[in-house]
A and B are shown apart, each in its own frame.
Chain A
Amino acid sequence: MLLKLIRHNQHLAERRSPIYDKNRYAKVLVHLFAAFWAAYLVFIGVSLSIAFKEGMPHREAYDSLNGGLPLFLFIDFLIRFMLPLPAQEIRPYLLLPIPERKLMNALLLQVGLKLFNLFWLFLFIPFGLLTITRFYGLGGVIGYALGIWLLMVMNAYWSVLVRTLMRLHVGWILLPALLYGGLLAVELLADGMVSRTSMTLGDGIIRWSPLVYLAILAGIVILWHLNSLIQHAAIYHELSRKENARVKHVSGYAWMDRFGETGEYMRLELKLIFRNKATSTNFKTLTVILLLFALMLFGMTSDDELRQSPFIVYFYCVYCFCAYGVAILSRVMAYEGNYLDGIMARKGSLYSLLKGKYYLHCLLLVIPLCCILPSAIWGDLTIVFVFGMCFFTAGITLPMLLQLALFNDKTAPLTASLWGKGQWNSAYQSVTVAAALFLPILFNKLLASLLDETTGGVICIVLGAAGILTQPLWLKATCRQLMKKRYKMMESLRNTK
């Protein structure tokens, strides 16, 4: 009864969340995303059955996969960091006349019954049907599916335990680090002992071995009990949890003063990026990817490889230059929706805001430029090509992304992750992002096939420079359009906060 009530409330909260309720596109996208992953897991399951059969003929395919079960459990453990904890969900019910333990048990039960625990079966069932049926029949596959589900349930309780402890004190990160590090060490030092044990475990669940099932169930019960013990402390910790209120260092970015009012908005954009979870996580992740791509470009651009795989070179290069724009600028106005009334109540703010954003993202291009230039100086990329990409991004791609100001009408929370609620606004956003990433690749490919690479680079520089120089014109036009539809936009952004 209590479980049903909690589930009903959670369902309503999801369905009626303003950013979801008003965003039909987000609803479709969520379902598409889930369907894509389900199909992808099926594909992996089928591919693995073939790969193991061909690659390891001396061993049954399911034995090979079972040997890698700890790896799947580790990936599942990492994915679960995105899910909420029972101690975070209990708050609305705490003052109701229901015993706290009963509430917590209902929430813990819900952790085990979550549909997410079944998601891996999209991989394991097709795999089992192709590899297990001929030895153990359908019963073997059913046992396999049941066993995998129980392992995922156990993993769910393990994940809740670790995450709850980590929220109490960050030092608890050592617990999973020691476990997974220990397993890896044992695997490497003890001649594959972990994978052999895992293989035996997998074999046991296929054969419906009572001992194996009892062992897994015992694991679930122990983890449930441990969770139940620590949740009481976790609830009070969650209730009194507060963001670290003190700022250690307040950056003034005084050098931006020379840009006048636009400089103020550039500074604001920089602080938007670094002081909010959504944007700062994106920025840091993208910087790491950008560095990796730049390193790969540096290592791989020998003449032969460039000729063999120009698409990869173009993709790495375009991605490096577009990354910040695609991840942050593509959410223009969606982030500003959090304080748009304050912006709109001041004269000319909208124009300065867009201008500041554009200038800052042009300046940010210095980072990929510095990362890729070594490949042009010491590697096989040409300077013209690199500058062509840089100018094309500044003059064509960024202005194109800024046009999303006219379409992004759902406020994106500044504290959510990139894949969190409200980060994807509309189909226009997805299409523009795809165009920002692939249009330059196609354009360069076309230029390279029609002309030589140097001429192509020069054309990109000229086009980009034209976009940069005509910035006052297109920016004012965008702003005029935005002012025309400001009421609709403001209302929508306000309603989705």
Chain B
Amino acid sequence: MKIRIEQLKKCYGEKTAVDIPEYHIAQGEMLGLVGNNGAGKTTLFRLTLDLLKADSGRVLIDNTDVSRNESWKETTGAYMDESFLIDYLTPDEYFQFIGKIYGLDKATIDKRTGRFDRFMNGEIKGEKTYIRNLSAGNRQKVGIIAAMMHNPSLLILDEPFNFLDPTSQSALKFLLKEYNQATNATILVSSHNLLHTVDISTRIALLEHGSIIRDLPNENGAAEKELESYFEWKEEDISSEKED
């Protein structure tokens, strides 16, 4: 699925959270969204998923304005935070619930979640534990798996590496890359982890104060140096800190 952003603006009082005049994401791209805290990554994702009202402008998924039509939801999967999880269900119940909402039968749901067996590491599937009693990492995994279960053409994950142990982070990178190659799905991932973002993304957008200040192609990790230079704690930062 392709995404087009047109004159998108969202402010909270005086503060501009998102201000993107124009941006295109092509079908099959894996876009990494990076930026410091408060740069607008989560707000941009919420606007893309129609969970927030834009002050002006619009987001189009496959030429459909997300705020005017719900058809894009059938082929979009997303996990932002725990407000996506129904925490009084067990993981299996949650998978069954989400799967059935997307019209999948029980056997298909079991088969689809089976793809993530190694990622779940035997701590999620079959566990008679409510999601609220799982560890933060396992809750994160439940959300990610539920977002991918219906084979979406557009996958949006906000900070998916958070709370995951190093092995699971590595497994997730592999899963996302493999999924992208197998389905040609468009994947949007935000992260503070530059290494992982560079590893998986074909393109990286750098956000600052709600604007995309750099749009970096990332074939063979080409964006790494530029990102490192942007995020590096520089001499002038240290001297201004001392002055303060």
Contacts and interface: CB of A to CB of B under 8 A. Distances in A.
Interface of A: 242-243, 245-248, 250, 261, 264, 267-268, 271-272, 275-276, 338-342, 344-349, 352, 414, 487-488, 490-491, 494, 497
Given A275-B88, A487-B53, A491-B52, A247 B128 contact: yes
Interface string B143-181: 000000000000000000000000000000000000000
Given A339-B86, A340-B83, 14 more contacts: A245-B130, A246-B128, A247-B130, A264-B101, A271-B89, A272-B88, A341-B51, A342-B83, A342-B85, A342-B86, A345-B49, A345-B73, A348-B70, A494-B83
Contacts of B84: 339, 341-342, 345
B7 interface: no
Nearest to A276: B88
Contacts of A243: 132-133
Nearest to B106: A257
Nearest to B92: A250
A266 B238 CA distance: 58
A243 B89 CA distance: 15
A268 B86 contact: yes
B51 A344 contact: yes
A345 B45 CA distance: 11
B69 to A, nearest CB: 10
Contacts of A414: 88
Contacts of B98: 346
Contact of A245 (B78, B100, B102, B133): B133
B87 A347 contact: no
Q: Is the interface of A mostly helix, strand, loop or mixed?
A: helix
A275 to B, nearest CB: 4
A336 to B, nearest CB: 9
Contacts of A494: 83
B159 to A, nearest CB: 14
Per CB-CB distance, the 7 closest pairs between chain A and chain B, nearest first, are A487-B53, A342-B84, A347-B73, A275-B88, A245-B133, A341-B83, A247-B128
B71 interface: yes
B51 A339 contact: no
Contacts of A272: 88
B83 A497 contact: yes
Contacts of B17: none
Interface residues of B, number: 33
A238 to B, nearest CB: 18
A113 B50 CA distance: 50
Nearest to A245: B133
A490 B53 CA distance: 10
Given A345-B78, A346-B101, A348-B70, A247 B129 contact: yes
B74 interface: yes
B83 A261 contact: no
Contacts of A276: 88
Interface in B86-134: 86-90, 92-93, 97-98, 100-102, 128-130, 132-133
Nearest to B89: A271
Contacts of A268: 86, 89, 97
7 contacts: A247-B90, A341-B80, A341-B83, A342-B83, A345-B49, A346-B73, A487-B52
Contacts of B128: 246-248, 250
B1 to A, nearest CB: 14
Nearest to A491: B52
Given A261-B100, A490-B51, A338 B129 contact: no
Nearest to A344: B51
A105 B132 CA distance: 34
A361 B233 CA distance: 58
A184 B84 CA distance: 52
B48 to A, nearest CB: 11
B100 A264 contact: yes
Nearest to A497: B83
Contacts of A250: 90, 92-93, 128
Interface string B33-52: 00000000000000001111
A338 B87 contact: yes
Contacts of A261: 100-101
A272 B97 CA distance: 13
Interface in B196-234: none
Given A247-B129, A490-B51, A349 B87 contact: no
